[in-house]
Amino acid sequence: MVSQQQQQEYRLHELGDFLRTRRARLTPEEVGLPRGNRRKTPGLRRAEVAQLVGVSVDWYTWLEQGRSISPSTQVLERLVQALHLDVNERSHLFLLAHQQPPPALSQEPEVVSPTLQHFLDHFGYRPAFVSGRQWDILAWNDAGCAVFGDFRLKTTRERNTVWSLFVDSASRQFVVDWEEDARRILAQFRSSCGRHLGDPQLTELIHELMHYSPEFRAWWPDHEVLGAQEVKKTLNHPQVGYLVFERLTFQVLDTPDFKTTVYTPLDEADTPRKLEHLLEQWYQQEGQKPHTPKAALGLPQVQRLEQDTVALWLAECCQKVEGAWVANNTIMTSYTLWCEANRYEPKKAKGISQSLATHGLEIGVNKRVLDEHHRRKMTRGVRGIVIL
């Protein structure tokens, strides 16, 4: 059995190795230092990193050697800057050094990627939205607007989940068992606030909630905390009456401060039919056609492996364009959601690749693309199609 001391030694060894690999990939010119004449190995020297961070060479050497020292948050942040670490590397550094995630970068703009928006859009008749670190709803799908109102017409405060629940008087009629739901949301909100202590926008939001909501003012000092839960949610919609859902919230791995919430309709209270009616009204109002076939609503999952689902997906969702390129993860997301919407059993990644090759597409094509942090990375994809 691995002892606590062995775990500590392994963690510090990993930290030292990580720092060595990060400085090895940089050149002096990239960090604004002169190259010099007697450089035998690539990358920065320890003395150069120590100079950039503002610590002694001995101290930095001990850190790379896995000595039991505790770098402060300020020193780690200077290491992030000196070694040009991206957001994922920053998180890894803090987990190795402090055994906890880094402080949130509160000033970073919260931008929902096109891929994540595409993911929301293909939930079809299930309302879904993405919220950020202050619980502002940042992106949504059509079903979300059909059930919860047009998010485009709401102010930032009105799109805040906690604010709308506690301050908007209409929520007390809209949410069945309002107090139970409000207490649960408040406890989850309190848990997430622990990651963003001192965030000025969160502090302002809490002060306003304390002022405008007697319930928030009474319950906030209780310090109840709760993680995300799968719960049954009943709404009393002003147009169609009761709607019953399963509500699931999960974290977006690429952007940990983002939470995706999906409302899956249950058969109770004739929810699927009512939801279809609301969404049809929404599309009529918008002058659009539904993104998802009606067959996607309320039908059981069936196994239909004999169908060439990749060919059907290509015909409905894609267009062949010579020289075009699409990343594998984008293809997998679009294809899987299409299968789910049409109640097909999706193929595994290997089967998808084989089918794409059968249809004359070039698979396994590497391309350098910019990630969300504007850094170039090599990504594998398929050449010859675009996803509509």
Alpha helix locations (H) across the chain? 4-24, 46-53, 57-64, 73-82, 87-98, 114-121, 142-148, 161-167, 171-174, 178-193, 200-212, 214-219, 271-286, 309-317, 328-342, 349-358
For residue 324, how many other CB atoms are within 10 A of its CB? 15
* Of the residues 296, 328, 352, the one at which a domain ends: 296
> Does 304 reside within a domain?
no
- Alpha-carbon distance 343 to 27, whole Å? 53
Q: What is the pLDDT of residue 371?
A: 58
> Does 133 reside within a domain?
yes
Contact 382, 365 (CB under 8 A): yes
Beta-sheet strand order (sheet of 376-387): 318-327, 376-387, 362-370
pLDDT in tens, 338-384: 887 777 788 888 788 888 887 778 888 888 776 555 566 778 888 88
pTM metric for this prediction: 0.59
Contact 207, 157 (CB under 8 A): no
For residue 1, how many other CB atoms are within 10 A of its CB? 3
Q: Report the domain count for the chain.
A: 3
DSSP per residue over 349-388, as a string? HHHHHHHHHHTTPEEEEEEEEE-TTS-EEEEEEEEEEEE-
Say which DSSP state 240 is in.
Answer: T
Whether residue 280 is found in the same domain as residue 340: no
Give one word for 29, left, alpha or beta, with left for phi > 0 and alpha for psi -120 to 50. alpha
Contacts (Cβ under 8 Å, ≥6 apart) of 244: 232, 233, 234, 235, 265, 266, 268, 269, 271
Whether residue 168 is found in the same domain as residue 288: yes
pLDDT at 302 over 60: no
Supply the CATH number for residue 125's domain.
Answer: 3.30.450.180
Q: What are phi and psi of 191, to 5 degrees?
A: -60, -45
Q: What is the pLDDT of residue 357?
A: 81
* Of the residues 247, 264, 296, the one at which a domain ends: 296
- The CA radius of gyration of the chain, in Å to the nearest whole number, is 25
Q: What is the pLDDT of residue 153?
A: 93
Question: How confident is the prediction for the chain on average, in pLDDT?
Answer: 84
DSSP per residue over 42-85, as a string? SS--HHHHHHHHTS-HHHHHHHHTT-S----HHHHHHHHHHTT-
pLDDT at 306 over 60: no
Contact 274, 125 (CB under 8 A): no
- Alpha-carbon distance 35 to 231, whole Å? 59
> Does 303 reside within a domain?
no
Q: What is the pLDDT of residue 372?
A: 58
Least confident of 10-19, 267-276, 366-375, 379-388: 366-375
> Does 353 reside within a domain?
yes
**Nearest CA-CA partner of 11 in 103, 100, 86, 102:** 100
For Cα atoms 116, 121, 127, give the angle at the middle one, nearest 5 degrees: 105
Whether residue 67 is found in the same domain as residue 135: no
> Does 57 reside within a domain?
yes
Averaged pLDDT for residues 105-131: 84
Q: How many residues does the chain have?
A: 388
> Does 109 reside within a domain?
no
> Does 104 reside within a domain?
no
Supply the CATH number for residue 49's domain.
Answer: 1.10.260.40
Interhelix angle 4-24/46-53, nearest 10 degrees: 100
Supply the CATH number for residue 319's domain.
Answer: 1.10.10.10
The enclosing H or E element of 128 equals strand 128-131
Whether residue 185 is found in the same domain as residue 319: no
CA dihedral 26, 30, 32, 36 (to 10 degrees): 60
Whether residue 154 is found in the same domain as residue 269: yes
What are the residues facing 140 on neighbouring strands? 129
Token representation of residue 303: 């196994």
- Alpha-carbon distance 50 to 63, whole Å? 11
Q: How far is CA 330 from the centre of its chain?
A: 15
Say which DSSP state 96 is in.
Answer: H
Say which DSSP state 300 is in.
Answer: P
Q: What is the pLDDT of residue 159?
A: 95
Whether residue 376 is found in the same domain as residue 333: yes
Confidence of residue 145 (pLDDT cuts 50, 70, 90): very high
pLDDT at 69 over 80: yes
Whether residue 292 is found in the same domain as residue 313: no
Alpha helix locations (H) across 287-327? 309-317
pLDDT at 305 over 70: no
Whether residue 280 is found in the same domain as residue 193: yes
Whether residue 244 is found in the same domain as residue 132: yes
> Does 302 reside within a domain?
no
Whether residue 118 is found in the same domain as residue 212: yes
Higher pLDDT, residue 300 or 277: 277
* Of the residues 244, 267, 296, the one at which a domain ends: 296
Whether residue 168 is found in the same domain as residue 25: no
pLDDT in tens, 183-219: 999 999 998 887 777 788 889 999 999 999 999 999 9
Residue-number span of the structural domain to which 351 is assigned: 309-387
Whether residue 180 is found in the same domain as residue 317: no
